[in-house]
Structure 1
Amino acid sequence: MTFNVFLQYILPHRFLSRIVYWATRWTFTPWKNWLIGTIVRNYDVNMSEAAQPDALSYQHFNAFFTRKLRPDARAADADPLALLCPADGRISQSGAIVDGRIFQAKGQDYSAAELLGDEASAQPYRDGSFVTVYLSPRDYHRVHMPMKGTLRETVHVPGRIFSVAPFAVEAIPRLFARNERLVCHFDGEHGPFVVVMVGAILVSSVATVWDGLVIPPYASSIRRKSFEGQNITLDRFAEMARFNMGSTVIMLLPAGMAALDALQPLQHVLVGQRIGHRSPG
């Protein structure tokens, strides 16, 4: 076990994340300008894509981190049957869910039931497919719909807040099924699908367009919220959520809903680009 991995087990995840939550919302100009400037320089952030390209004009670091893009900076694939990438970032893994298990990295896997919080919810995806997208600090941090869907339920699953950087994904067993996360269940035009917002150390805050800030507070037990009958329908490519700081998005599809493209680990992807093709019926 490397020292970096060892630290993941002993650090006070939630305590550190609470500190970062408030630090990234502090409006003290020298502080927020230093934080923003450090990220822009170290991660080569492309501010020309932002609706407000002046990085230091943002009220605080989190406003910069969750910045809107220009309307022409991203576009949905023109094919209405194209399965859209839900986030900017890099492909962590993608492919088939085999007997209910999802590949993580280098011999590591975890079950869909663990990820979603119960066995029944995982049944439609037992032999389906998945895409995992890792967002780095340089990326756009709003998550968009891969296809049109009506929100049925969210499930806030408590857990650790390990790093989701590649070194941790390769070393920590069942990492995505152990981290705090928000599971979003949708009903699509041809079946259900799931988008999971996975928290990470220092960056575990999640907000949705329908409920605002959901994480924090952190959960001590599974929290389910039904949206049945509320008719919250989001169009293909519409914004659905954001990370206040970055992390990982996992999408699960049932068997037969779509055929994934040949996505490669570490492949750079953008919101709205085609990552697969949905079945027409």
Structure 2
Amino acid sequence: MTVKSLISTLTQQEDLNFLLTNRVPRAALTRFMGWFSKIENPWLADASIGFWKLFSDLDLSEAKQTHFKSLHDCFTRELKPGLRPFDSDPAVVTSPSDGIIGAHGTIVDGELYQIKGAPYSLIDLVADPAVVETHRNGRFMTLRLTSSMYHRFHAPYDMTLEHVSLIHGDTWNVNPIALKRVERLFCKNERAVIRTHLATGEPFTIVPVAAILVASIRLHALDRVLNAQTERPLTYSCATSVRKGEELGWFEHGSTIILLAPGDFEFCDNVQDGARIKAGERLWRRRI
């Protein structure tokens, strides 16, 4: 048995996985990784990436770069041009990122799910009554990004970013094992609430949820990084128009994006629990 297969076998054991990724000093470990990942040393970067590959299915063949100056540089890598074409159908709202489709469905009177049988309240997630009223009986979807995935996220449609708020919180792992064991996990972690409206007028909200190790979110519209060290103000008004596929920012490690859409949006036929999806592929069909 190879070292990688042994590690994979061990981490698939739920109790051990949860212990190793959650029963640790999460905030301290996250701060350390934030510092460590930005050390610019080619030898250290290569060694760290090699170690990372032991724990994941990291594939850098799509990366625009062939060498990285730091671990952070690899986390936030760009892709070669043309690898994520966005569906041009004007009725289609696309995925903003690569990810694994998790819980999705209808929000019922402000309640949605992190996994089947584990409900949470929309107000606890977004802490904004106006957003709750907008999406009280809308649609939702969670997209989980693993550590090895492409970490940049894009506009799912022609849209205008209106308001961003940062909600400080914890840094629990967001893998399925943790989602089964930690109630209201998304409502506990560091997260941003990005209010937008589509070019066709419908409201659409994007909630990037950070996680353990490097819990930072970079948004180009604000030209800043949002994380646990961000001081007030924690709310920002903006009026930034973007086109479908335009880059909005990036996570500095794996995490989750929760999408909130109008109730009359229909899920496309490729939306299935556990399906892997790439940025630009269709998620919803809106009425035209």
1:154 to partner: Cα distance: 0.4
* Offset of residue 3 of structure 1: 5.7
Superposition map of 1:1-281 within 5 A:
2=15, 4-5=17-18, 11-40=24-53, 42-52=55-65, 54=66, 57-188=67-198, 189-218=200-229, 223-227=234-238, 231-256=239-264, 258-262=265-269, 263-280=271-288
SS of aligned partner of 1:78: coil
Per-residue deviation at 1:224? 1.4
Letter of the aligned partner of 1:182 in structure 2?
A: A
Contact in 1 for aligned 2:42/2:68 (Cα 8 Å): no
Q: How much does 1:277 deviate? A: 0.6
CA displacement at 1:133 relative to structure 2: 0.4
CA separation in 2, counterparts of 1:195 and 1:125? 12
Q: Which amino acid in structure 1 is aligned with residue 262 of structure 2? A: P
Residue 10 of structure 1: how far off its partner (Å): 5.0
Distance of aligned partners of 1:41 and 1:74 in 2 relative to their CA distance in 1, 3 Å threshold: farther
- 1:44, 1:266 → 2: CA distance? 16
Cα deviation per residue 1:71-114 (whole Å; 9 max; x = unaligned)? Answer: 12110113121110111010111111111111111311111111
Distance 2:167 2:53 in 1: 32
Provide the C-alpha distance between the structure 1 equivalents of 2:158 and 2:268, rounded to a whole number of angstroms: 19
Q: CA RMSD in A?
A: 2.1
**What is the TM-score when the length of structure 1 is the normalising length?**
0.90
Q: Distance in 2 between matches of 1:46 and 1:5?
A: 25
Overall identity of the aligned pairs, in %: 31
Which sits farther off after the overlay, 39-48 or 16-25?
39-48
Call closer, same or farther: CA 1:219–1:160 in 2, change over 3 Å. farther
Q: How many angstroms apart in 2 are the aligned matches of 1:154 and 1:131?
A: 19
Q: 2:148, 2:254 within 8 Å by CA — same for their partners in 1?
A: no
Q: 1:117–1:155: 8 Å Cα contact kept in structure 2?
A: no
C-alpha deviation, 1:28, in angstroms: 2.6
| Contact in 2 for aligned 1:128/1:253 (Cα 8 Å) | yes
Instruction: State the alpha-carbon separation in 2 of the partners of residues 183 and 271 from structure 1.
Output: 20
Which amino acid is the alignment partner of residue 152 of structure 2? Answer: R
Tell me if structure 2 keeps the 8 A contact 1:93–1:103.
Answer: yes
**1:261: Cα distance to partner?**
2.1
- Cα 1:178–1:8 change in 2 (3 A) is farther
Residues 176-234 of structure 1: per-residue CA shift (max 9 Å, x gap)? 1111101111122222111111010113111011223332244688821112xxx3101
Give the aligned residue type for 2:212: I
Amino acid at match of 2:202: G
Opposite residue 215 of structure 1, the aligned amino acid is L
Q: Which amino acid aligns with 1:30?
A: W
For residues 208 and 260 of structure 2, what CA distance do their matches in structure 1 show? Answer: 12
Q: Distance in 2 between matches of 1:69 and 1:180?
A: 27
2:9 alignment counterpart: none
The answer to whether the 8 Å contact 1:81/1:277 transfers is: yes
Distance 2:58 2:35 in 1: 23
Q: What is the CA–CA distance in structure 2 between the aligned matches of 1:34 and 1:237, rounded to whole Å? A: 33
Alignment TM-score, normalising by the size of structure 2: 0.88
1:41 and 1:91 map into 2 onto residues whose CA distance is: 24
1:157 and 1:219 in contact (8 A); partners too = no
